[in-house]
Structure 1
Amino acid sequence: MQTCALCKNKTTLKESHIIPKFVTEWIKKTGITGFLRKSENEYKRREQDGFKKYLLCENCEGLFSKSEKKFAENIFIPYLRDNKEEFEYQEWLNYFITSVNWRLLYLELIDYLNKEVDITQNNIEEITKAAQELGEYLLGKRSFPNNVESHIYFLNDLAFVRHAHLRPISFFRRSIFGFLLENNEPFEYSYVYSNLSGILIVTAIKKTKFDMWTNTLIEDQGKLTINQLMGSPVLGDLISVLEHANEGSVPEHQAQRILEQLKKNENNIENSKFLEEFIKDQDLQELYRKLFEEE
């Protein structure tokens, strides 16, 4: 018998997807190769592409599955498949974000106890407390912690225009990953975030005083649009991930050749989102040239 990470009962554990399975299935279904985007590099931080762990009992898996279904049907699929730009939500969205990022946070704390990762001493007490309170919230034992915030940010083209040469749209739409991001100097902060095929979900445990989040905060219920702004260490970390992942990326002249071939054979990839994402990256590069290279 093993101990469930959430309810702490001794029972048989299920092999849990740390990032929900429907994200992986979407990337495979809408890609050309049927595989997830992989980096040429080995990150020092854990890659979450299809990562699974014996973590939860069947009952706790059931708790999470309800909000996962709501998120997939009401936000994930409408945004990625139908290009929807406005979404209504209720408490299930905050629960979903917490359920994903709590799993990441729990595993990071286990790695910290096993001395496999470092967490700043100034932050460890606050992060540990947040993990405990978020777990109690997921079990229905308490309300959502007042000092923690949930955010959702749709990774848009303009946020990465200065990094257009790295093909950010294709990268973020074709990948899934999640990290604990924390620091002590020059500013203290701690966040847990996950990229779900271009939809960023963030649990902010401690923000900096310079953080800017516009139309991203998740409350008990409300309406989301893709008209958002984010200024945060999280954005800087995403750029770092993008840069590390793009070693060995396709050269510009080859990319143009691939685009021409794809346009000639659109019927062969009608079920794929690859062409749409590829063209958006080409357009973003053209925008960069107009904004920063032309006199």
Structure 2
Amino acid sequence: MKGICALYEEETDLVESHIYPKFVIKHSKETGSRFLRNFETPNKRDQDGPKPYLLGLKAEQKFSKSEKWFAENIFKPYLNEKYTLEYDENLYYFAISFLWRVIQLELRTSRTDFTKKWYYDKMMEAEKEWREFLKKNTIPKNHHNVNMLLTSRLLNNNSGIKGVDFYFTRALDATIVSNETKTSLLIYGKFNRFIFWSTILSEPYTDELYEVEINPNGGIIEVPQQVEFYPFNSFVSNRLRGVEKMPKAGEAQQEKIEKEILKNIDEFWKSDLGESLDNDMRFDT
């Protein structure tokens, strides 16, 4: 369909653009269910995640290069238990391209009028800076902070919250994070065991982000990481509680899920999804 490419801002033939990279969707289906389910719409089965008509082919191909780099140098090695990961400028580019698409998704699918949000102007400042970076590789001056936290299978859970392992190792999630006092604004997105966020606005905290902040010029990731950043930690804690309260799939959908599992039940419980659910059930008892 014809439209304006969100990246290059020119009229062209738009393609369905994955918010979550194709390799992420492929991995999620190969290591669990063939269908993805959104937290907010558990009765809707989705094979590919959100795919708005967002980009032209030129932009889509540009993003595909950084996605390929991330898949080969970070995603697959980490999932294959490599815990010291060297990276170059491609990681920074990939992270911003993902978080920039989170903004685009929110602008297009939010049930509320974003222009009336207190943080709209600040968020659009970041969107503009990131868009210029994605086109010209000019490092953002104001909104340059980008972080990545790598998660792993849950070893213990004293929170009393259900489904924590699933959220940290399997869930796809993307949102804008703000607070009532209008002092904090984060752009947040995660898939599988990879959490990304950018601090757009924050009170001055003494907490350090050096173990999770991505250097635009490259660096080394050492896992496990630690992050003691209150706005992020508070959001994740609240998100887990919110996810637990979200509506579950209806009886009809639960029956479909059971039939899918029963097709090869032994194989299912050996899958990454099966191991995650089994781990969560162990903590729930």
| TM band (smaller chain) | 0.7 to 0.9
Helix, strand or coil for the counterpart of 2:236? helix
Cα 1:215–1:184 change in 2 (3 A) is same
Cα 1:223–1:150 change in 2 (3 A) is same
* 2-structure distance, mates of 1:21, 1:126: 30
1:245 and 2:246 are equivalent in the alignment: no
Cα 1:71–1:107 change in 2 (3 A) is same
The one-letter code sitting in structure 1 at the alignment partner of 2:221 is L
Partner of 2:168: 172
Partner of 1:62: 61
The one-letter code sitting in structure 2 at the alignment partner of 1:209 is P
- State the 1:27 CA deviation: 1.1
Partner of 2:124: 128
Helix, strand or coil for the counterpart of 2:126? helix
Partner of 1:5: 6
Helix, strand or coil for the counterpart of 1:28? helix
1:226 and 2:223 are equivalent in the alignment: yes
Helix, strand or coil for the counterpart of 1:235? helix
* 2-structure distance, mates of 1:183, 1:159: 30
- State the 1:98 CA deviation: 0.4
Matches within 5 A, 1:63-82: 63-80=62-79, 82=80
Q: Is the 8 A contact 1:215 1:228 kept in 2?
A: yes
Stretches of structure 2 lacking an aligned partner (at least 5 in a row): 249-260
* 1-structure distance, mates of 2:174, 2:114: 15
- State the 1:271 CA deviation: 6.2
The one-letter code sitting in structure 2 at the alignment partner of 1:108 is E
- State the 1:91 CA deviation: 0.4
Cα 1:128–1:184 change in 2 (3 A) is farther
Percent identical among aligned pairs is: 29
Q: Is the 8 A contact 1:101 1:194 kept in 2?
A: yes
Cα 1:77–1:237 change in 2 (3 A) is same
- State the 1:188 CA deviation: 0.8
The superposition leaves residues 55-75 of structure 1 with CA deviations (integer Å, 9 ceiling, x where unpaired) of 101001111001111111111
The one-letter code sitting in structure 1 at the alignment partner of 2:218 is Q
Cα 1:171–1:109 change in 2 (3 A) is closer
Cα 1:198–1:2 change in 2 (3 A) is same
Helix, strand or coil for the counterpart of 1:243? helix
Helix, strand or coil for the counterpart of 1:106? helix
TM-score using structure 1 length: 0.77
**Counterpart among 147, 155, 176 of residue 151 in structure 2:** 155
1:192 and 2:191 are equivalent in the alignment: no
Stretches of structure 1 lacking an aligned partner (at least 5 in a row): 250-261, 287-295
Partner of 2:83: 85
* 1-structure distance, mates of 2:3, 2:265: 50
Partner of 1:216: 212
Partner of 1:34: 34
1:277 and 2:276 are equivalent in the alignment: yes
Cα 1:34–1:147 change in 2 (3 A) is closer
Q: Is the 8 A contact 1:70 1:92 kept in 2?
A: yes
Cα 1:125–1:245 change in 2 (3 A) is closer
Aligned residue pair count: 264
* 2-structure distance, mates of 1:199, 1:237: 16
The one-letter code sitting in structure 2 at the alignment partner of 1:199 is F
* 2-structure distance, mates of 1:160, 1:206: 32
Cα 1:284–1:115 change in 2 (3 A) is closer
Partner of 1:253: none
* 2-structure distance, mates of 1:183, 1:59: 37
* 1-structure distance, mates of 2:38, 2:212: 28
* 2-structure distance, mates of 1:15, 1:87: 32
Partner of 2:103: 105
Cα 1:235–1:159 change in 2 (3 A) is farther
Helix, strand or coil for the counterpart of 1:163? coil
